[in-house]
Structures are given as structure tokens and as C-alpha cells.
Amino acid sequence: MYKALLFDLDGVLVDTAKYHFIAWKKLADELGIPFTAQDNERFKGVSRARCMEILLELGGRTMSEADQIFYRDKKNQIYVGYIRNMGEDEVLPGVTDFLQDAKARGYAIALGSASKNSRLILDRLHLTQYFDAIIDGTKVSRAKPDPEVFLQGAAELGTLPRECIVFEDATAGIQAAHAGGMQAVGIGDSQTLPEADIHVPGFLGVTIENIEAELAK
Ligand code: BG6
Ligand code: MG
């Protein structure tokens, strides 16, 4: 029944969420804005520009567009400094086996990420080969929870939304999948991602067969 799998990147395939957090935290400290791991949940899945706006909201601050661009570029430089040094061991456990197995079973596979650094990360971690389509922050104009990124992925794969399963670690991404008429697997628990159709803590020991069986229940 399902023909295509669409994966978010940060926090689903690779452990980059921690580097986003560290980089935003450094910037927040510089700007004197309190910023916690809980605040960081709101940053997951949303664009860099939107993250900058949320940070300013958290600090009750306003800033000119030019300054916002300056600071979000600065955050990105800090972030890219970390991801350039990532090793293949930072692919999350079980991910490579899961992708290999799904590919061998004939599923079409796409990336659906807000990140403009997606290609750099996939190349760096030797994951690019698994993807039939890569939709990232350089290709979409509307951020999750808008379904654009996943609908574009389904279209590039030549599949219908109802034939797609989305894997997401962010509330905005689960909402985007549903808005696009797709099933959403939450990487995490039901407390953090109450809207997901099913949950897995990660990919270790999980196969696409398990996922399909769970979705059918
Ligand atoms: C998403 C992350 O995948 O990409 C967000 O969950 C991030 O936290 C967004 O803001 C944009 O990433 P980048 O790499 O273009 O700054
Ligand atoms: Mg994510």
C-alpha cells in the first residue's frame, strides 16, 4: 500500500539537533536572551529565519531585518563549524540499515527538510546515495507545518500523498505530513509528539515492515 518514505533530516537521520541547540544557545547568550532546551523544541522543524524571530520573541526584543540576517548568519557559521567535523558515527543508530532495507524492498525515498545545509550533511555522512529526491530549505518557500516540502517530495517521487509515510521528530513536521494527507511516524514519544500516528524511539532494530504493521493496527 505504501510506496514512498519521506524523512526529515535533523533529529531523525542525524544527531544534528544538538548542534542547532548549541549554536542558538551561543547566540542567545551573546544577545543576553535566556534560552533553554525546552525553548529549543519550538525551533525544531522551522526555518532559520523563523528561529531567529522566535529567539527575539523569547527575549521580548525587536531587531531590524538587516541585524536579524547578520545574527542568523552568525548562528549558521557556528553550526556549520560543528557539522563540518561530524563523523559517520553521528548518523543515528539503525538509520543506515533501515534505509538499506527499505531501498532493497523497492520503496522510493525522499528527504523533506527545512535545512539549507541538508546536502552538506548527507554528503558528509555518505547518505546521499539512498535518496531518490532531496527537498530541502533551498527548494521550498513555505515552512512546516505547511505541507509543501512533503508534497514536493511525493511529486518528485511520482507517488500520491496517501502512499507516503513521513518520519519526523518535530511537531511542525507531523502537522505538515498530516496537512499533506500522509501518515506520520513520530521519532520520539507520545508526550513530545502527541499528534503522530505511531511512535518509535529511533530506528535501531526497526524495519519498514514493523512500521507498516503498526500503522495497519
Ligand atoms: C530543521 C531544524 O531541520 O532545519 C531546524 O529542525 C532548523 O531547527 C532548520 O532551524 C533550518 O536549518 P538550517 O540548517 O538551514 O539553518
Ligand atoms: Mg527534525
The model's pLDDT over 24-51, given as tens digits with 9 standing for 90+, comes to: 999 999 999 999 999 998 898 889 999 9
Task: Report which bound ligand comes closest to the CA of 77.
Answer: 1
DSSP 3-state assignment of 134?
strand
Residues 172, 145 contacting (CB under 8 angstroms) = yes
CA atoms within 13 A on the CB side of 11: 24
Predicted local distance difference test score (pLDDT) of residue 200: 98
Ligand 1 close to Cβ of residue 48 (< 6 A): yes
Task: Report which bound ligand comes closest to the CA of 24.
Answer: 1
As annotated, the active-site residues are 8, 10
Residue 95 pLDDT > 90: yes
Predicted local distance difference test score (pLDDT) of residue 45: 86
pLDDT by residue (tens digit) across 142-170?
989 999 999 999 999 999 999 999 999 99
CA 90 to ligand 2 centroid distance, Å: 15
38 C-beta neighbours (distance < 10 Å), count: 7
Q: Which of 24, 47, 119, 150 to mutate to test the pocket of ligand 1 (most atoms within 8 A of CB)?
A: 47
Mean per-residue pLDDT over the chain, rounded: 96
Give the predicted TM-score (pTM) of the model. Answer: 0.93
